[in-house]
Amino acid sequence: MTYNKNHLKNAELLILVGLIQERLNNEDMALRCFAEALRIRRKLLDSNHGDVAHALVHAGRLFQANGDHCECSCSEDPSIVILET
């Protein structure tokens, strides 16, 4: 079975690849994967869906690990609201 580039399965795979890249200390690639997964999930899911929050948390954690707290707070605040809903 093939999926188009905006399929939720691709977003899942991008999260997994991002996690692998993060473990390999390839933070730029990891962030690109998380951002693309987030783009797909935002396009296909409601803004308060848990999978959108999941992608936001990964991106926010990566920003925080790199000391970019401004970007981190911008990324993580929406996910906290989503997870508390």
Q: What's 64's domain CATH number?
A: 1.25.40.10
Number of domains in the chain: 1
Q: Interior CA angle at 65 toward 59 and 66, to 5°?
A: 95
The string of pLDDT tens digits covering residues 31-76 is: 999 999 999 999 999 888 999 999 988 888 887 777 665 444 444 4
Phi and psi dihedrals of 44, rounded to 5? Answer: -100, -20
Which structural domain range is residue 57 located in?
Answer: 8-84
Distance in angstroms (rounded) separating the CA atoms of residues 59 and 75: 7
In a domain, 43, yes or no: yes
6-27 pLDDT, tens digit per residue, is 899 999 999 999 999 999 999 9
Q: What secondary structure does DSSP assign to 25-57, as a single string?
A: T-HHHHHHHHHHHHHHHHHHS-TT-HHHHHHHH
